[in-house]
Amino acid sequence: MTISEVSKKYELSQDTLRYYERIGAIPPVNRAKGGARDYTESDLGWIELVKCMRSAGLSVEALVQYVKLVQQGDDTFPARRELLNEQREQLTAQLEAIRAAKERLDYKISCYDEAIKTGILNWEL
């Protein structure tokens, strides 16, 4: 699959795909005889992982570290697991912060709903 096709499929710019490869967030992509990138199913799996993790807020640095560990081999299973656990803990904290913010917004919206009905805005900040 060409970089253009991958870019369209995953809605990532070609520059972003090159960047992820250059910094090590995805392993080096196979090249065709002319030197153009030739993405395999394995490459696409890495792109899906990066896209998912980045959309969830994981740092590029954590992804680079994870790829390095994978490339070092099976002896890094414990380190990979630990890295993923740390990232999960960070995501859990972010989810809790988002939940609290949503509850606050829900409360304020309900106050405005009541104010629209009664003409009186009654809430605690």
pLDDT of residue 57: 84
How far apart (Å, rounded) are the C-alpha atoms in residues 83 and 77?
10
pLDDT on residue 11: 96
Instruction: Report residue 73: phi and psi, to 5°.
Output: 110, 180
Could you give all domains of the chain from N- to C-terminal order, each with its CATH number? 3-72 (1.10.1660.10)
- Rounded to an integer, the average pLDDT of 70-74 is 96
Query: What is the pLDDT at residue 125?
Result: 61
* Structural element, H or E, at residue 125: none
Q: What percent of the chain has pLDDT over 70?
A: 98
pLDDT digits (tens, 9 = 90+) for 22-69: 999 999 999 999 999 999 999 999 999 999 989 888 899 999 999 999
Q: What are the E-state strand segments in the chain? A: none
